[in-house]
Chains A and B, each alone.
Chain A
């Protein structure tokens, strides 16, 4: 038994633990949950300086009772949480100066659920300010570095969560995804990221970006872990009336089921201009593998997908400008010291507290919603959104899942796209349509690019509330990619 323990500890130091490893190790008595937490805490203390993945770290939970949750598969598993999800009594910044000292007054529903399952929390991870961005360069607290190449971005906005999992500074992490913010950083960091169906996971306690699109999901080291965490955080919640009252299946149950005969749609619109050759190559290789496994590959078209990004950049700023109106310098958050009048309090506090990207989006949203422009922008965008959803509905009459690249490129250099907001927005071109349609999608690593040797992400998209098939296809593909 002593030998086993040493082996386990060695494994932790080299590759890190998956959730399954922790289950096994705890069950066999190779280590205790306290030891796992401490190992990760120590590792974060040592390695976070170079990555800036964590914005804050926690002490181990003190009550002994919290460690005794052997019945749940997530018991004793230490996780990282994106810093726009509330954990009672701790700072939650949303990556913004305006909430630098904000203390959460309650636990988000996903945190409550994970706590109940025995998960422990290592700390809060970096993000683009209010989850607005695709590189974490918009964080008020400095960029997170990609563990595969420290001169490159980890993607975003959940870049801190993806980098933490990729560098094994957490067993798994939670992120939030409004237009790709879980899947794109997972792709760029070589880990697994899942955006569940809109309505599957409660957003109560998530600092809202665009309420009709936001969804919380897991970032994990493999597909099995993704299924486990999804099961733990899903379900109806009276505090989020967009959650559906349907049962949560055991997402791990059918992972091993054969995918022979499954129809896989490949949309031509996801392989056009802007897609890097080495990304295309890896994605095509994975499609061939699915074919070899007996899947039927079907060419499909999503004719309105090319308008998704333009519609998205109306809908998100509009909703964000309304959501961020609550930051007024009065009830919480930064309040300007210079303000003389009530109006000054608003103007100065928001001017000092918000960074460039939130200002840009608040301005854009305010413009698009202002009198005389509503029909031309917001209404138009929501009509396009209907057409995009319709494209997916039609496609899913012919196929069981849709696949393609997660991001058009591998991780790009820090600063490369910082001066041109539009060029950065384009890195979400394959993820944004999925949010507009409200459907689930997962990104899994499918090898490294031939030239860059950096991770490439493969996206598997499913029918509404059919995370089971998305996870099953991803799991089966993961096994042959190993």
Chain B
């Protein structure tokens, strides 16, 4: 028998309701259409359902593995990095690609809105 909670999570996963999808999209800074929202709801639900099989495994007491090389505190010498010496050419390559710019500066829309 499914508990009420389990039954609910099968029909609608918490966080993946219509408002949930909109919230995730806004956190991810992606504007989505109604159609995309429906598609994402379906795709994410089916992927998460597949991912649920991880719950079959008891991971009590298991340390998570974030990396495999075992390297820790990988330092480099604190020297001038000549490979990336800034010059006019490199400056143009970097700043030059900004979609909106003025001279050597990247332009952005104002952060605060003006009072009307």
Contact = CB atoms under 8 A, between A and B. Distances in A.
Interface string B68-80: 1101001010000
B47 A364 contact: yes
A199 B102 CA distance: 41
B16 to A, nearest CB: 7
B44 A364 contact: yes
Interface string A333-357: 1110001111111111011001010
Contacts of B28: 321, 350, 362-363, 366
A314 B98 contact: no
A384 B59 contact: yes
Nearest to A241: B74
Nearest to A105: B93
Interface stretch (A66-74, A174-182, A374-382): A374-382
A245 to B, nearest CB: 9
A422 B46 contact: yes
B57 to A, nearest CB: 6
Interface in A97-123: 101-103, 105-106
A329 interface: yes
B59 A198 contact: no
A311 B54 contact: yes
Interface in A267-281: none
B43 A360 contact: yes
Contact of B30 (A106, A359, A379): A359
SS class, residues of chain A in contact with chain B? helix
B69 to A, nearest CB: 4
A328 B29 CA distance: 9
A347 B29 contact: yes
A310 interface: yes
B110 interface: yes
A242 B69 CA distance: 7
Given A331-B97, A342-B111, A359 B32 contact: yes
Contact of A386 (B15, B30, B50, B65): B65
Interface string A319-333: 001000100111111
Interface residues of B, number: 55
Contacts of A329: 99
A142 interface: no
Interface in A7-49: none
Nearest to B41: A363
B97 A387 contact: no
Contacts of B76: 238, 241
A320 B109 CA distance: 26
A244 B29 contact: no
20 contacts: A103-B93, A105-B93, A199-B69, A239-B83, A241-B76, A307-B57, A335-B100, A346-B29, A347-B31, A351-B32, A356-B39, A359-B36, A363-B44, A372-B15, A383-B63, A385-B64, A386-B64, A387-B57, A387-B62, A421-B47
Interface of B: 15-16, 21, 24-32, 36, 39-40, 43-44, 46-48, 50-57, 59, 62-69, 71, 74, 76, 83-84, 90, 93-94, 97-100, 106, 108-111, 113
Interface of A: 89, 101-103, 105-106, 198-199, 212, 238-239, 241-242, 244, 304, 307, 309-311, 313-314, 321, 325, 328-335, 339-348, 350-351, 354, 356, 359-360, 362-364, 366-367, 370, 372-373, 377, 379-387, 389, 421-422, 425, 437-439, 464
Given A330-B99, A330-B108, 7 more contacts: A314-B54, A347-B31, A348-B31, A356-B39, A363-B21, A383-B62, A438-B68
